[in-house]
Each structure stands twice: as structure tokens, then as C-alpha cells.
Amino acid sequence: MTTGRNVHRVPKKQWTRWSKEARRVFNAVYFVCYQSPWLLQHPKAPKLKPAHAKTTAWNAAWLAADAVDDTVPTEIVTVKAA
């Protein structure tokens, strides 16, 4: 598994809240999802733009890290893009 270093620039406030295991999971999930964006999209959907794939990978990795520490939110809030 990848190291527990903050190589993907997670805000320090959040990074320090996660356990070492959660940090490693974030890095591992982000790496896999970012390198293979097709894993997170429907086969008939158009190819994701790189910025969208990066955001999707980031969100998946964040939720995975939260799950390690059992802090997954019970409500997901949708934010409109500006």
C-alpha cells in the first residue's frame, strides 16, 4: 500500500484528523481511481474529462478514508458549481 504522506495536498486540517491507515487508504484509492477513471463510470457514458476524473477520484478516496475511521457522513450535501 502507498505511504501515509500527504502527496495529494489534502487540507492539513483533514489530513491530521485521519488515522495513519485512513491516510494510506486515501492515497491508494486516489491513485487507483485517478489512473483508471473508467472504473468509476458507466460503460456507455462518454469518457470523463481529466478534471472530472480527478474530482471523482478525490471524492471516492475521501469517502474511503472516512470509512476507515468510521466517519462517513450520513447526509451528502450537493453544492452547485459557480
* pLDDT of the residue at 22: 94
The cell for 22 is: 485512513
* pLDDT of the residue at 70: 85
Determine if the pTM surpasses 0.85: no
* pLDDT of the residue at 82: 61
Q: Which domain holds residue 62?
A: 1-82
* pLDDT of the residue at 3: 64
CB atoms within 10 A of CB 53: 20
Total number of domains in the chain = 1
Q: What is the mean pLDDT, run by run of 10 residues, along the chain of 82 residues?
A: 78 93 95 91 90 93 92 72 66
Instruction: Say how far apart CA 79 and CA 42 lie, in whole Å.
Output: 22
First to last CA, the chain: 36
Contact criterion met (CB below 8 Å) for 75 and 82: no
The cell for 73 is: 457522513
